[in-house]
Chains A and B, each alone.
Chain A
Amino acid sequence: MDNFARAHLPRIAALALASASLLAVTAAEAKEITIWCWDPNFNVAIMKEAGARYTKTHPDVTFNVVDFAKTDVEQKLQTGLASGTADALPDIVLIEDYGAQKYLQSFPGAFAPLSGTVDYSGFAPYKVEVMTVDGQVYGMPFDSGVTGLYYRKDYLEQAGFKPEDMQNLTWDRFIEIGKEVEAKTGKKMMGLDPNDGGLVRIIMQSAGQWYFDKEGKPNITGNPALKAAVETVGKIMSANIYKPANGWSDWVGTFTSGDVASVVTGVWITGTVKAQPDQAGKWGVAPIPALSIEGATHASNLGGSSWYVLESSAEKAEAIDFLNEIYGKDIDFYQKILQDRGAVGSLLAARGGAAYEAADPFFGGEKVWQNFSDWLVKVPSVNYGVFTNEADLAVTAQLPALTQGMPVDDALKAIETEISGHIQ
């Protein structure tokens, strides 16, 4: 055996080398696009669907969709960008809209501009705005977080309210209804995580304001929408019409378990609401309540995210072409992900298809998608800036004090001090 190996070793080595180089050649021809995103039932599933569609027409391109938790995606991305080692990064990454400017501005040159390729006029303007820096547009706008008020028809009926009573509410009326619901049914009106600034953001944006003005300067003490939003959340907490939740899954549990009568959040929650088949027919969807201040609307946004191509990616050209082909043009794709996953895309041309006109039996035959798409165009456009996470924590830090009777103006001052400290 030893002799055999010794005699043939050069040939074996040559064969191994040859096959290795052959493999390397074929590997270079087949392109694999690696994608990082979160939520297996939503983003991951949708991206797999998009990849399958593209591979049909481009058999040489395959996709590797990697599923992480959202914070893990953000942390890995931030670490990878900071270390400057491109090998550690994917070709395409999903970024939540609130964080887009932060990444684009603090890691200049890390993301590929798509301005020349993608026709951005076809997308909801507020989505394009969050990915624009110095006139260059980065990223492919994806799902919208247009908000709605999901409510339990059965609980509200027990409390003496009809679906018509839930239309065009004000927040004060919403709180009154909440008190009635608790008195009559023993159920809380909503789940609320006091560590999550989401509700404040929804209410504030519905009146066309944000923590920052168009120039990115803090807009706190002189911001009537923020003041009203903070006041409203304070009222909800003092009225005790909410079930406290700690963290996301806890919060989801408040309504999947049937403990609360309504949910105010982004359209992407639809899949989670519908995941409880025994609650079919019990839910309705209405526009969110409005503030009683100038500029108040019933439309707002929570979350929503977009796809970004890394400048360092070896498959940059293919990645850009893929996003443009599927997310930028494929109307049929948008119909499918709406029906399958409840994804309301921000490509305006996709809003006319049959899927949007379909009635949903889970919501008692309401045409909920049509409603969401009507509200989508009414969402006031704001500048999320680069410090939304900081502002969010500053706001939630003041919420408990508010319920103990702290004047709103003092709370706003404290919020402003905290945010100013972060802006350097």
Chain B
Amino acid sequence: MALARRGGIGRYYDINGWLFVAPALGLIALFMVYPIVWSLWMSFQSGRGMMMKFAGFANIARLWNDPVFIKALTNTMTYFVVQVPIMILLALILASLLNNPRLVGRAFFRTAIFLPCVTSLVAYSVLFKGMFAFDGIVNSTLQAIGIIASPIPWQTHPFWAKALVIIAITWRWTGYNMIFYLAALQNIDRSIYEVARIDGVPAWARFTHITIPLLKPVILFTTVISTIGTLQLFDEVYNLTEGKGGPSNATLTLSLYIYNLTFRFMPNFGYAATVSYVIVVLVALLAFLQFFLAREREK
């Protein structure tokens, strides 16, 4: 009874409560707060390996003059700008197609499209590497059906390598987004569509004027999640290009660059920390922008 009566500010002084959350707080402090603060401190240091010195804003200045960083940033933004809209739109279209109750084999298609995102990142990258090899199955199929005359250098040409990464991540993540849309579509009242159909609204207009507006909160959610995922893109590029981000740095992402700075190059943990904070800032900015745009449209 005494506990129940105590409320408001009094709760903060209850030592028992603090004892209960203390282990969790301790672990969070040790494994989250400490590394975050420490990496921020590290981003102001520079040097070879263990020989780190305080360098002020030297790492931030270095970012502007670093062609590889600029390249990695451009690539990451290219993936973001090209891949995320394609994937979101594709997932939306697939979701509304698979939401059709008259479609035969609905469960099969849903499973098939969702399956890629439960496969192992490494396994599918290795598979893609084999399929898109110079004399792999994709080139030989395209040649056999006469779409291309000579094999496409998927992995050794800067443009095609980037295209390959986009194809790979689209394959992997479209089904994941589609599931969110499918779940949201189940909550839309069928009668809305029926009314629209009776009024003679064509399918495409029903999609753009009913489905998309009603799914807006989910679209916002998936866009933010995809933004974070794309900016942290690492596994696919690492495995497809043997960790090099080639050819000619054409597929290098910010995460892969951080990896290179830490494990492949002369270890510079300070500069690597600075680059990782670039990702943090970008994700925060883009997520804010997306929330802002979505809010604007709601008025």
A74 within 8 A of B: yes
A405 within 8 A of B: no
B192 within 8 A of A: no
Minimum C-beta distance from A281 to chain B (A):
27
Instruction: Give the contacts of A394-424 with B (CB-CB under 8 A).
Output: 394, 396-401, 414, 417-418, 421-422, 424
Bound Cα distance A103, B271 (Å): 18
Of B46, B66, B155, B268, chain A has the most CB atoms within 10 Å of the CB of B155
Q: Which residue of A lies closest to B70 (CB)?
A: A421
Q: Which residue of B lies closest to A247 (CB)?
A: B242
A-B CB contact pairs (8 Å), 20 listed: A71-B264, A78-B262, A82-B49, A82-B269, A103-B49, A108-B51, A193-B156, A194-B246, A195-B156, A195-B244, A195-B246, A246-B242, A389-B266, A393-B244, A394-B68, A400-B157, A400-B158, A400-B248, A414-B67, A424-B268
A386 within 8 A of B: yes
B243 within 8 A of A: yes
Instruction: Give the contacts of B247-299 with A (CB-CB under 8 A).
Output: 247-249, 260, 262-269, 271
Known contacts A74-B264, A82-B267, then 6 further A-B pairs from the complex at CB < 8 Å, ordered by chain A residue: A78-B267, A82-B49, A106-B50, A244-B153, A393-B249, A400-B157
CB atoms of B244 and A105 under 8 A apart: no
Interface residues of B toward A: which range? 35 or more
CB atoms of B265 and A389 under 8 A apart: yes
CB atoms of A106 and B134 under 8 A apart: no
Which chain B positions have C-beta within 8 A of A245?
134, 156
CB atoms of B242 and A248 under 8 A apart: yes
Contacts A195-B241, A195-B242 known; A386 to B266 CB distance under 8 Å? Answer: yes
A243 within 8 A of B: yes
Q: Which of A193, A386, A421 contacts B48 (CB 8 A)?
A: A386
Give a binary string over A167-207; 1 marks a CB under 8 Å from any B CB, 0 the rest. 00000000000000000000000000111000000000000
Give a binary string over A49-86; 1 marks a CB under 8 Å from any B CB, 0 the rest. 00000000000000000000001001100110110100
Which chain B positions have C-beta within 8 A of A417?
67
Of A103, A397, A401, chain B has the most CB atoms within 10 Å of the CB of A397
Of B247, B265, B266, chain A has the most CB atoms within 10 Å of the CB of B266
B65 within 8 A of A: yes
Contacts A82-B50, A106-B49, A400-B157 known; A244 to B244 CB distance under 8 Å? Answer: no
- Using a Cβ–Cβ cut-off of 8 Å, how many residues does chain A contribute to the interface with B? 42
Give a binary string over B150-163; 1 marks a CB under 8 Å from any A CB, 0 the rest. 00010111100000
Minimum C-beta distance from A394 to chain B (A):
8
A387 within 8 A of B: yes
Bound Cα distance A71, B243 (Å): 9
A390 within 8 A of B: yes
A250 within 8 A of B: yes
Which chain B positions have C-beta within 8 A of A248?
242
Interface residues of A (CB under 8 A from B): 71, 74-75, 78-79, 81-82, 84, 102-103, 105-108, 193-195, 243-248, 250, 386-387, 389-390, 393-394, 396-401, 414, 417-418, 421-422, 424
CB atoms of A424 and B50 under 8 A apart: no
Which chain B positions have C-beta within 8 A of A79?
263
Minimum C-beta distance from A85 to chain B (A):
13
B172 within 8 A of A: no
Minimum C-beta distance from A78 to chain B (A):
5
Which chain A positions have C-beta within 8 A of B153?
244
Q: Which residue of A lies closest to B151 (CB)?
A: A244
Bound Cα distance A195, B242 (Å): 9
CB atoms of B265 and A390 under 8 A apart: yes
Of A71, A78, A106, A108, chain B has the most CB atoms within 10 Å of the CB of A106
Bound Cα distance A396, B68 (Å): 13
Q: Which of A81, A84, A386, A400 contacts B247 (CB 8 A)?
A: A400
B138 within 8 A of A: no
Bound Cα distance A244, B139 (Å): 14
Which chain A positions have C-beta within 8 A of B264?
71, 74, 389
Contacts A106-B48, A396-B248 known; A75 to B157 CB distance under 8 Å? Answer: no
Minimum C-beta distance from B151 to chain A (A):
9
Contacts A195-B241, A393-B244 known; A74 to B50 CB distance under 8 Å? Answer: no
Which chain A positions have C-beta within 8 A of B243?
71
Which chain A positions have C-beta within 8 A of B49?
81-82, 103, 105-107
CB atoms of B248 and A398 under 8 A apart: yes
Which chain A positions have C-beta within 8 A of B266?
102, 106, 386-387, 389-390, 422
B62 within 8 A of A: yes
Contacts A390-B266, A400-B158 known; A424 to B242 CB distance under 8 Å? Answer: no
Which chain B positions have C-beta within 8 A of A387?
265-266
Q: Which residue of B lies closest to A102 (CB)?
A: B266
Bound Cα distance A103, B129 (Å): 32
Give a binary string over B103-135; 1 marks a CB under 8 Å from any A CB, 0 the rest. 000000000000000000000000001000110
Q: Which of B50, B246, B263, B265 contacts A75 (CB 8 A)?
A: B263
